Amino acid sequence: MRAALLVLNAGSSSLKFQVFEACEEGPAPDEDRPRRVFRGLFEGLGGSPHLVIRDRDGLIVAEDSPAARRGRYGHEDALLAVAEWLRGHRGGYRLAAVGHRVVHGGRAHTAPVRVDDAVLDALDRLVPLAPLHQPHNLEPIRIVRRQFPDLPQVACFDTAFHHAQPEIAQLFAVPREMTEQGVRRYGFHGLSYAYIASILGDYASELAAGRVVAAHLGNGASLCALRAGRSVATTMGFSALDGLPMGTRCGSLDAGVVFYMLREMGLTPDAAERLLYTRSGLLGISGVSNDMRALRARAGADPDARMAIDLFIYRIGREIGSMVAALGGIDAIVFTGGIGENDAATRAEVLRAAAWAGFSLDEAANAGGGPLVTRGPGPSAWVIPTDEEAMIARDTRAVLAAMRQPVL
């Protein structure tokens, strides 16, 4: 049986997974790019589960709507089903390690870490910092520990990439004791930005050492200012609500609005949180959709859909200014995430909003998806697909190799 590294990204009712194996063509022993063999998605967990697994070429190799053996079909059933499928598929894969996406590492976890009891307890204590995401990220860690106690597990954090930002970029202007308690800017999308930083040099060697604004624009959206591949500022802060407006999240909001929601609108803290996370952003403004494709399709005839897009672009334009100020200039912008990689209109509108920085859009290259979508002497703009799972796979291998437990 071949050894497989499983990468998990768990949500409340979903489990995204990818499977990596050692490259058979014989990579150098220090090769840090394990080969992806499958990617899969379990949706509808707890309700009507549906599983699709695709191979490297995107062809469906398994599809199922499994029935619960007992009670509801949840994450535990899903994980067992994936392990069983892997054991039986084409000669069989044996799980050698699991790498997890974990949204919050807090102050203590500034790098990927092998999970043990103490680490799991520490990550549990961070649930109040990311109540809507952290519990779902930790559940599969517990399941794997229960079902496969000997399997090494590594947690990779969305916050870790930003930990080395200057202190001033991490502070809120609140009393020191609140900062000490952990009320500070952490930043998110760190796995995506770490991946982008790691491959900038493949696109243009000068970018790796330059001043780059990376724009991760998907359902969640943020900007990160990179200097020589390191994060010096980012738009998300204490929570993944801050910064840009997103699919359903509000982005930056005067804290006074929250008091108004509690006192005048009579919302409970939980209801206010749900409203700002799930009913705001592009969905809140447009009233119809959080999905950029749907908004683009309606924008010609629906002023609210157009306004949602316009606000998204306006806020990105303003925040680019803030990132450029933190960098003291700009050499390039990188678009990534579902919108950044696929929506040429958003890229064009953002570059127009940031024309003051000297971008000169190459319309044809932009329509064709780049990678370079500007021309001329000003700063450049690039389309670079992100790959958070590859980053987790690399980090997991590196952590285990450093512990003299190589898995692939």
Closer Cβ to ligand ADP, 222 or 380, answer by number = 222
Chain residue at closest Cβ approach to ligand ADP: 338
Closer Cβ to ligand ADP, 213 or 339, answer by number = 339
Q: How far is the CB of 70 from ligand ADP (least distance, A)?
A: 31
Closer Cβ to ligand ADP, 227 or 296, answer by number = 296
Catalytic residue among 55, 116, 158, 331: 158
**CA distance linking residue 396 with residue 34, whole number of Å:** 11
Q: With H, G, I as helix, E, B as strand and everything else as coil, classify residue 166.
A: coil
Q: How far is the CB of 245 from ligand ADP (least distance, A)?
A: 12
Pull the structure tokens for residue 184.
């500070």
Pull the structure tokens for residue 331.
């050499």
Residue type, 313: I
Closer Cβ to ligand ADP, 292 or 323, answer by number = 292
Question: Do 324 and 353 form a contact (C-beta atoms < 8 A)?
Answer: no
Chain residues that interact with ligand ADP, rule: CB under 6 A: 218-220, 247, 291-293, 337-339, 342-343
**CA distance linking residue 33 with residue 223, whole number of Å:** 26
Q: How far is the CB of 166 from ligand ADP (least distance, A)?
A: 27
Q: Which of 151, 39, 32 is nearest to 98 (CA)?
A: 151
Closer Cβ to ligand ADP, 154 or 283, answer by number = 283
Annotate 13-72 with three-state secondary structure.
CCEEEEEEECCCCCCCCCCCCCEEEEEEEEECCCCCCEEEEEECCCCEEEEECCCCCCCC
Q: Which of 222, 66, 252, 82 is nearest to 158 (CA)?
A: 222
Question: Do 123 and 138 form a contact (C-beta atoms < 8 A)?
Answer: yes
Q: With H, G, I as helix, E, B as strand and everything else as coil, classify residue 383.
A: strand
Q: How far is the CB of 247 from ligand ADP (least distance, A)?
A: 6
Closer Cβ to ligand ADP, 210 or 220, answer by number = 220
**CA distance linking residue 391 with residue 388, whole number of Å:** 5
Q: How far is the CB of 292 from ligand ADP (least distance, A)?
A: 4
H helices of 173-286, in order, are 176-180, 190-203, 205-208, 255-263, 269-278, 281-286
Pull the structure tokens for residue 68.
């619960």
* Catalytic status, residue 158: yes
Closer Cβ to ligand ADP, 55 or 291, answer by number = 291
**CA distance linking residue 69 with residue 286, whole number of Å:** 42
Active site residues: 158
